[in-house]
Amino acid sequence: MRVKTPFYHYDMELLENTLQALNNAIPSPNFKVHYAIKANAEKRVLELIQKYGFGADCVSGNEVQTAIDTGFNPNEVVLAGVGKSDDELITAISNNIHSINCESIEELEVINEIAGNLNKTADISFRINPNVDAKTHAKITTGLSENKFGIPISEVGRAVEEINKMQHLHLKGIHFHIGSQILSMDPFVKLCKQVNTLLEDLEASGVELEHINVGGGLGIDYLNPEENPIPDFEGYFKTFHQHLKVRDGQTVHFELGRSVVGQCGSLISKVLYIKKGATKNFAIIDAGMTELIRPALYDSYHKIENITADSALGIDNYSVVGPICESSDVFGELEMPITKRGDYLCIKSAGAYGQVLSSNYNLRDKAATVYSDEMSLDECLDQQNAELA
Ligand code: LLP
């Protein structure tokens, strides 16, 4: 296999260790994890996660189809999204997925009609907006009233009245997702309290639920990926185990994305030029926001390391930038060993919301995918050097 920068390199051993840690941390057979495919949908990543027996959390018809084609059990596939198209709903209903997480009363009507046309009963849950502040970046907060997601708590009573009139829907559960990259457990505790109150209210009006889906959101350590490669799954599940008042027979579902795949992926890029600007040094690399848009979109931090520098040469400050014709195409400002054309940089913690968010803006090629058990990072670099020699 011949690799060309920029490429994504996946540490399959770390992914496997993460999946094992996740499995070991699950405190009860009633806790079910659905991997959020949106975080990373590379083939072998999905295959390994499926092998561990997790379900899938999807946000499009294509994700549902990909999950099923990969071997995820349709009965462990869930679908959310504020704007599901009729075709996407047909895919979900015809495959008898575990639950369509419905985000508005109008959507209930549409699902009821489509299910009727297909001669089916669709299993659904209400995705509810709990108005809980996830205390994360505003652009990845989803559970506040001002966000477009979910049915407002104040409308849940009306949603129950409406669903009682619909013949082709079966209400199985309630669903929440307050946001992403959440490192403090406080927002999750607040969510549990909201859910407990809502469950009591629903029971008082005669609604019995099979499951509670609390979404995803557990964050990862972008600052110290080497020290903390695996998130604290135990602490996360314990929070829900302690604070959620689950009824007998009810299952609790989680939709984890970033925490499962975030640390196993790196973006590897080559330095094209070092330019002395008027105020700073630019290290211009061959990866851009087209391969990893998170810094440009959310000002997010990714640790960057020059993996081929000669550290004896000293250090300097660099603004690491991509080649794209956009001023926001910046990966970070940092101190690195003296860096020169031809050095390789590793941009870490890029396994989640990295490759899936890439584009071919400027008509760029798609970055390749390299799995560590097919080619280690050292082997990739040796190959590059051999080609130069
Ligand atoms: N469930 C639902 C309904 C979601 O919308 C999401 C993520 C998840 C689960 C998974 O959340 P996680 O466990 O990965 O936090 N592109 C942004 C993140 C967007 C998250 C979208 N929804 C980023 O790069 O930070």
Torsion angles phi and psi, residue 55, rounded to 5: -85, -175
Whole-number Å distance, alpha carbon 287 to ligand 1 midpoint, is 24
pTM listed for this prediction? 0.97
Instruction: Please report, for the chain, the start and end positions of each structural domain, with discontinuous segments joined by +.
Output: 54-256, 263-388
Residue 353 near ligand 1, beta carbon < 6 Å:
yes
Cβ-count burial of 277 within 10 angstroms (0-12 exposed, 13-18 middle, 19+ buried)?
Answer: exposed
For residue 182, give the DSSP letter.
B
Whole-number Å distance, alpha carbon 177 to ligand 1 midpoint, is 8
Cα 344–Cα 346–Cα 348 angle in degrees, nearest 5: 175
Residue 177 near ligand 1, beta carbon < 6 Å:
yes
Residue 127 near ligand 1, beta carbon < 6 Å:
no
At position 260, the amino acid (one-letter code) is V
Residue 181 near ligand 1, beta carbon < 6 Å:
yes
Instruction: Give the model's pLDDT for residue 158.
Output: 94
For residue 338, give the DSSP letter.
-
Residue 233 near ligand 1, beta carbon < 6 Å:
no
Whole-number Å distance, alpha carbon 248 to ligand 1 midpoint, is 29
- pLDDT tens over the chain, length 389 residues: 889 999 999 999 999 999 999 999 999 999 999 999 999 999 999 999 999 999 999 999 999 999 999 999 999 999 999 999 999 999 999 999 999 999 999 999 999 999 999 999 999 999 999 888 888 888 878 878 888 889 999 999 999 999 999 999 999 999 999 999 999 999 999 999 999 999 999 999 999 999 999 999 999 999 999 999 999 999 999 999 999 999 999 999 999 999 999 999 999 999 999 999 888 999 999 999 999 999 999 999 999 999 999 888 899 999 999 999 999 999 999 999 999 999 999 999 999 999 999 999 999 999 999 999 999 999 999 998 887 76
The CATH number of domain 54-256 is 3.20.20.10: yes
Whether the CB-CB separation of 212 and 252 falls below 8 Å is answered with: yes
Residue 175 near ligand 1, beta carbon < 6 Å:
no
Residue 294 near ligand 1, beta carbon < 6 Å:
yes
Residue 288 near ligand 1, beta carbon < 6 Å:
no
Nearest ligand 1 atom, CA 255: 9
Closest CA to 182 of 172, 191, 173, 169: 191
At the fourth CATH level, which superfamily is domain 263-388? Lyase, Ornithine Decarboxylase; Chain A, domain 1 (2.40.37.10)
Residue 55 near ligand 1, beta carbon < 6 Å:
no
Q: 385: which 2 tokens? A: 């050097």
CA distances for 286 relative to 3, 34, 83, 320, 350, angstroms:
14, 35, 36, 10, 16
Residue 255 near ligand 1, beta carbon < 6 Å:
yes
Whole-number Å distance, alpha carbon 319 to ligand 1 midpoint, is 28
Residue 203 pairs in a beta bridge with none
Whole-number Å distance, alpha carbon 334 to ligand 1 midpoint, is 28
With H, G, I as helix, E, B as strand and everything else as coil, classify residue 298: helix
Instruction: Give the model's pLDDT for residue 141.
Output: 82
Instruction: Give the model's pLDDT for residue 351.
Output: 98
Q: What's the CA gap between 237 and 224, in Å, rounded?
A: 22
- The pLDDT tens digits for 106-135 are 999 999 999 999 999 999 999 999 888 888
Instruction: Give the model's pLDDT for residue 277.
Output: 85
Cα 293–Cα 296–Cα 299 angle in degrees, nearest 5: 115
The secondary element (H helix, E strand) that includes residue 36 is strand 31-36
